[in-house]
Amino acid sequence: MYARRRHVYFAMMGTCVVLFVLAWSVVRLWSVPAAVVMCLVAMVIPPIAAIMANRRGPDDRWWDDPSGDPQSDKWWDELDGKK
């Protein structure tokens, strides 16, 4: 699950870089407004990529879920002040 999110993140960030580079190295020669639009689209991609990369998957262990090891769970509960 984590590997898939990481691949999606890097694909989106790669798309972002490609859009910036193409906008100002190629597209601006024919149309500056199109290059600006490409940069605006590229500007929106990084926050979306970060949100998608950091979301919790259905199989992910959340930070406060018990691990299943009684000794470890007891130790963490003691550290967190739960017991």
What is the mean predicted confidence (pLDDT) over 5-13?
A: 92
75: burial class by Cβ within 10 Å (0-12, 13-18, 19+)? exposed
pLDDT (tens digit, 9 = 90+) per residue, 21-75?
999 999 999 999 999 999 999 999 999 999 988 887 766 666 666 677 888 888 8
Answer whether 12's CB lies under 8 Å from 56's CB: no
Q: What is the pLDDT of residue 60?
A: 66
The model scores a pTM over 0.95:
no
Residue-level pLDDT at 83: 64
